[in-house]
Structure 1
Amino acid sequence: MKRYFVKELIHRSIKFRGIKLIRKVALFTVLIATIGFMVACKKAPEKPPVTSKQQDINGKVVDNTDGTNIFKNLSDTIKEDIKNGGTSLKIDAKVQVPKTSKVSVVTVKPDGIDQARVDKIIDTFMKGKQLYKPNELMTKKGIQDYITLMNAYSLPNNENDEIKKSDGDPIDPVAIGGSTKARLTKQVEPGASTMYQKEAQELLSKAPESPERKAAAKTLENVDESDLKSNGKTYKGFHGKSLNVVVDSGKGYDEELYTSTSNSLKSSMARIINHDSTQVYKFHEYTGSSARGMKMSLEEVKKLAQDTLNSIGIADLKLTEINLATLMPLTKEDDPNKMNQAYGLWFTRDVAGVPTTLDLAEEKLQNDESYGYERLFMLIDDTGVIEFHWQSPAKVTGTISSDAEIKPFNDIMEVFKKQFFIRYAQSGKNNENTTYDINRITFGMMRVNVKGKEDEFTMVPVWDFFGSKTSKDGKVDHTYNSFMTINAIDGSIIDRTQGY
């Protein structure tokens, strides 16, 4: 698997569309996903439901006719320790709630990235520059960059790092909490690193000095892929529109745009990469410190990001999270504690003052097509926006309630504590002790499936519980991978990988 991955990165003569990798990776993610516990039985609401066509939703959503301030008298922090067998649940969490006394429940549907949006993206990032087709053969510099990366990943500080490919197929940029979609880790086979180095050196001697340039248009192209057969199963190919173009950055690398949208609009994304492939970042939570080596202030970074959204015409996504991104050391001489940093900014949908909670879980494939959760990421340093990734744009189609009643927070906590041990308790299995630390409890919105309607979805308010897990295998960060998502309307458990 590793050898195949590295050779694909080097052998650019093999045509390899980003769409295919996205689908293959998504399929693999589904195979290893764990299905969470679901609560099936719900008490019928005492108040009449809001009239709506979504019968499974309106049976739960009722108007907050009392006009109660939903977050009144809610504590800023929650502390509690509970033990069950070999499992310890330690809650020392900040409670994050929006500054609003009303919660709206709205319906949404996939919106896609059409030609008009592609034109705006190109005008924003590549205006006035000649567009070219991506090179099928890597140059000497490109191959040397990958040799540099392979050497870098053999360094002690980098052996276990999860990464994103700088010039490859689009993946979630932040490697925090849960599995990301691509890794380039330490070789597990004896002598493997040497073998890949040898292959790369052979290619290096034959590689061209400079890229072969072929002019490209900015028009989206139709894509109709054949089905993919794997392990006796058939997965439908991608059908939709895509565009992959580059421009010469003038800095020794190409700035690349890749975008694709399926005919259903569900599988939809656009990404810009505008930095050298050897620039690999590690992402961390932002705790208030400035990005090392940057002259731009965080406020200037926020303004640039907002100006970028305005230029593309994105008005319904708001800044949700900020990360610090640190460059990965490439040589033994590079001090990990002195590497330059950048800011990573996450944007999610805002529903009448309540932001969509950032969670990097991906919805399971449904009917052979995945539908990722809507979010937008920008990585910014002093040169500007060096990465832009926008996936699953949506649009609001209706309002079920502009002021929905939600369950009291104490009721939500009781559900969490009870269901947590049903899902995670080890019961002393193999004498293994596992500790779950909850340090953040967040109220926000989440997209869920509308029962019986494949192309209709609802944004509902939810409570999420974030933190970390510590066991004999070490510590696993769950900063953006919720341990549990609870529907604030009725207290049911939502499985983010299932979408309901």
Structure 2
Amino acid sequence: MKRKQLLSLLLCGALLSGMAQGCAQLSGIAQGHAKTPEHPLVREKKGPSLENYEKADPLEPAADGSTLARHLQVPDTYEASAASDDNRFQLSCHAQVTVPDVTQIPLWKVSQKPFDEAWISQVTETFFGDAPIYDGDSYFRFSKEQIQERINELKAYEAEGNLDPYGYIAYAQEEGWENPEQYFNLQESISIYEKEYDNTPETIEKTKVTPVLSEDDTGDSSSRYFEGAVELDGSAYRYSMKAGPANSMDIKISRAGTDNSPLEWNYSLYDYQLEGGYYSMENDFPSREKAEEMAGITEKQAVEIADRYMEKLGLTDFSAKNTALSLGRLHPSGPPISYPYSEAGYRISYTRDIQGFPVTDEVDPGLSMPSMDSTTAPWGYEKVYFCVNKDGLQQAEILNLYQVEEQQIDNVTLLSFPEIADIFENMARIKYSDYVSPGESIRLDVTKAVLGYTRIYDPDTDNTSGILVPVWDFFGTKERLVNEESGNSRTKEGIPDQSFLTINAANGTMVDRSLGY
């Protein structure tokens, strides 16, 4: 059972980074008045067209100092409830509402930041100073001694008659997969390691290199990469860079574990509400108190460390938005249950702030395609992450940085919050009712509503530029109930940085974060 729980958590983690948001256009919005359309789940026209945006005059601060929130009629707490006619969908809102204290909201054009030699040099200097950079492909390969240890281990299992020492076959059987024996063959594994042993040099070569993006092995100039290794403060770090059609910039720095094995970090299930069904966490992880002890520093200290890296990178217009206690372990080469978490730290997520108006931190990477037949490359969102603990930097990721260019409109007209709330309540009912099967019901509890920027673009026209537009996001928990005839099960999930719906604050259309428009 515990293996099944852990597999399900891993599947849940993949879901967190790839769950699609509903994409629709709410027609009938004109002159700031929202109307419920006959069929609202119609995708809006792709891309950053300015036709549906109106210019507004800057706000004059009120006597009590409030500006935008007062103008948009934002309540201190968003209270609402709704249900479908058959009660299979229920919505409850008791939400903190976050609005930036600004007097105007421009629309900004953004493009992909050049992934050039100057930026690579700045990243390298920031994290590694003048430490030598080695070729990662040769540095991180197993030594003859390590391979021989694995061969000896496997042959010992063979002598015992234990043909499934890591539980792969049993794992597949428990999950009901077809032909479970195909997932592990002990003799074949021994043969592979013996061949690798013959082709491995006696000692690990350390070849100094200069970080530079090269074409991939196929010679495709649109996909470039670099894989390096750095020895720093008694640890070895993996330093990888990739640039391709979907991710224009993908930089990852991670500290290696024992014998230079890669460390795997989760996305902090401590801050997620995962209950019932696939999401049980009971006995699978150390307690929060134990994890905090393992991290060895406070959340505030972790942010201070990450802030210093951001300053050195020159990303001073970013700020930390979410911090979460996370766990790390050696990258598993067997079923997850075999590899306990041995590290803990704080994962800090950064987004950009422009003239006091932030980009909302949301988990979706924005790499989905509109259909299986689509040939247009997507463009992932700008994201910056750090993971640090008492030993310093554990991991850093820099993804798809933008280059902020000219204003498209210096101040855009926004719908009032009551209008946005009306749209949200109607669209949530329509979207999530579609997720409910016969005999099920679903309940959304909204605890947070946030106004911020997101980037939209037209992938059919240009996947290298777009605009930052103001949007409302709604966060909270989602509970699914199944009646007694189907087993009377209950699952609940609350993902802090996953929005139920994203609504364009200027025209009320739905933004599909997975697609980027």
Instruction: Name the TM-score, length of structure 2 as normaliser.
Output: 0.69
State the match for 2:505 in structure 1: 488
How far apart are 1:380 and its partner, in Å?
Answer: 0.4
Task: Check the 8 A contact 1:438/1:467 in 2, yes or no.
Answer: yes
State the match for 1:243 in structure 2: 226
Q: Unmatched 5+ residue regions in structure 1?
A: 1-24, 47-53, 160-184, 228-236
Question: Letter of the aligned partner of 1:81 in structure 2?
Answer: S
State the match for 1:63 in structure 2: 56
- What's the secondary structure of 2:101's corresponding residue? coil
Task: Check the 8 A contact 1:442/1:465 in 2, yes or no.
Answer: yes
- Give, in whole Å, the separation in 1 of the partners of 2:359 and 2:410: 16
The match for 1:448 among 450, 453, 456 is: 456
1:382-461 to 2 correspondence within 5 Å? 382-426=390-434, 429-449=437-457, 454=462, 455-461=464-470
- What's the secondary structure of 1:342's corresponding residue? strand
- Give, in whole Å, the separation in 2 of the partners of 1:187 and 1:381: 39
The match for 1:467 among 469, 476, 494 is: 476
Task: Check the 8 A contact 2:48/2:466 in 1, yes or no.
Answer: no
User: Is the alpha carbon distance of 1:189 and 1:216 closer, same or farther for their aligned partners in structure 2, counting shifts above 3 Å?
Assistant: farther
How far apart are 1:245 and its partner, in Å?
Answer: 1.0
How far apart are 1:83 and its partner, in Å?
Answer: 1.7
Q: Unmatched 5+ residue regions in structure 2?
A: 1-13, 34-46, 62-66, 155-163, 273-287, 483-489
- What's the secondary structure of 1:493's corresponding residue? coil
Task: Check the 8 A contact 2:29/2:507 in 1, yes or no.
Answer: yes
State the match for 1:259 in structure 2: 241
State the match for 1:171 in structure 2: none
1:354-393 to 2 correspondence within 5 Å? 354-361=357-364, 362-365=366-369, 367-393=375-401
User: Is the alpha carbon distance of 1:55 and 1:275 closer, same or farther for their aligned partners in structure 2, counting shifts above 3 Å?
Assistant: closer
- Give, in whole Å, the separation in 1 of the partners of 2:391 and 2:292: 14
- Give, in whole Å, the separation in 1 of the partners of 2:270 and 2:78: 21
User: Is the alpha carbon distance of 1:321 and 1:186 closer, same or farther for their aligned partners in structure 2, counting shifts above 3 Å?
Assistant: farther
- Give, in whole Å, the separation in 2 of the partners of 1:427 and 1:451: 27
1:34-45 to 2 correspondence within 5 Å? 36-40=23-27, 42-43=29-30
- Give, in whole Å, the separation in 1 of the partners of 2:359 and 2:344: 27
1:80-479 to 2 correspondence within 5 Å? 80-84=80-84, 85=86, 86-135=88-137, 137-139=141-143, 141=146, 188=177, 195=184, 200=189, 203=192, 207=197, 212-223=204-215, 239-248=222-231, 254-262=236-244, 267-276=248-257, 277=261, 279-282=263-266, 283-284=268-269, 291-327=292-328, 340-361=343-364, 362-365=366-369, 367-426=375-434, 429-449=437-457, 454=462, 455-471=464-480, 472=482, 474-479=491-496
- What's the secondary structure of 2:90's corresponding residue? strand
**2:514 matched to 1:497?**
yes
Q: C-alpha deviations, 1:111-136, integer Å up to 9, x for none?
A: 13211111122222233333222236
Q: C-alpha deviations, 1:205-263, integer Å up to 9, x for none?
A: 65469763251422424316759xxxxxxxxx661543211124585x7411111234x
Question: Letter of the aligned partner of 2:251 in structure 1?
Answer: A
Question: Letter of the aligned partner of 1:212 in structure 2?
Answer: I
Question: Letter of the aligned partner of 2:119 in structure 1?
Answer: R
How far apart are 1:384 and its partner, in Å?
Answer: 1.2
Task: Check the 8 A contact 2:255/2:263 in 1, yes or no.
Answer: no
Which deviates further from its counterpart, 373-382 or 449-458?
A: 449-458
- What's the secondary structure of 2:293's corresponding residue? coil
Task: Check the 8 A contact 1:133/1:214 in 2, yes or no.
Answer: yes
State the match for 1:17 in structure 2: none
- Give, in whole Å, the separation in 1 of the partners of 2:176 and 2:202: 30
1:6-21 to 2 correspondence within 5 Å? none
Q: Once superposed, what is the RMSD of the aligned Cα atoms? A: 4.1
- Give, in whole Å, the separation in 1 of the partners of 2:422 and 2:295: 45
- What's the secondary structure of 1:71's corresponding residue? helix
- Give, in whole Å, the separation in 2 of the partners of 1:126 and 1:305: 14
Q: Percent identity?
A: 16
Number of residue pairs the alignment of both structures matches: 423
- What's the secondary structure of 1:433's corresponding residue? strand
- Give, in whole Å, the separation in 1 of the partners of 2:167 and 2:397: 25
- Give, in whole Å, the separation in 2 of the partners of 1:143 and 1:101: 67
- Give, in whole Å, the separation in 2 of the partners of 1:239 and 1:474: 43
How far apart are 1:202 and its partner, in Å?
Answer: 5.2
- Give, in whole Å, the separation in 1 of the partners of 2:308 and 2:166: 35
- What's the secondary structure of 2:418's corresponding residue? helix
Task: Check the 8 A contact 1:104/1:352 in 2, yes or no.
Answer: no
Task: Check the 8 A contact 1:465/1:484 in 2, yes or no.
Answer: yes
Question: Letter of the aligned partner of 2:227 in structure 1?
Answer: N
Which deviates further from its counterpart, 88-97 or 108-117?
A: 88-97
How far apart are 1:379 and its partner, in Å?
Answer: 0.4
Instruction: Name the TM-score, length of structure 1 as normaliser.
Output: 0.72
User: Is the alpha carbon distance of 1:407 and 1:210 closer, same or farther for their aligned partners in structure 2, counting shifts above 3 Å?
Assistant: farther
Q: C-alpha deviations, 1:258-277, integer Å up to 9, x for none?
A: 11234x79621111011314
Task: Check the 8 A contact 2:227/2:240 in 1, yes or no.
Answer: yes
Task: Check the 8 A contact 1:80/1:91 in 2, yes or no.
Answer: yes
User: Is the alpha carbon distance of 1:142 and 1:425 closer, same or farther for their aligned partners in structure 2, counting shifts above 3 Å?
Assistant: farther
Task: Check the 8 A contact 1:407/1:490 in 2, yes or no.
Answer: yes
Q: C-alpha deviations, 1:383-411, integer Å up to 9, x for none?
A: 11110100011111111334333111111
- Give, in whole Å, the separation in 2 of the partners of 1:122 and 1:247: 10
Q: C-alpha deviations, 1:433-472, integer Å up to 9, x for none?
A: 1222222211111001169851431111110011232224
- Give, in whole Å, the separation in 2 of the partners of 1:78 and 1:90: 10
Task: Check the 8 A contact 2:21/2:501 in 1, yes or no.
Answer: no
User: Is the alpha carbon distance of 1:271 and 1:328 closer, same or farther for their aligned partners in structure 2, counting shifts above 3 Å?
Assistant: closer
Larger radius of gyration between Structure 1 and Structure 2: 2
- Give, in whole Å, the separation in 2 of the partners of 1:40 and 1:151: 59
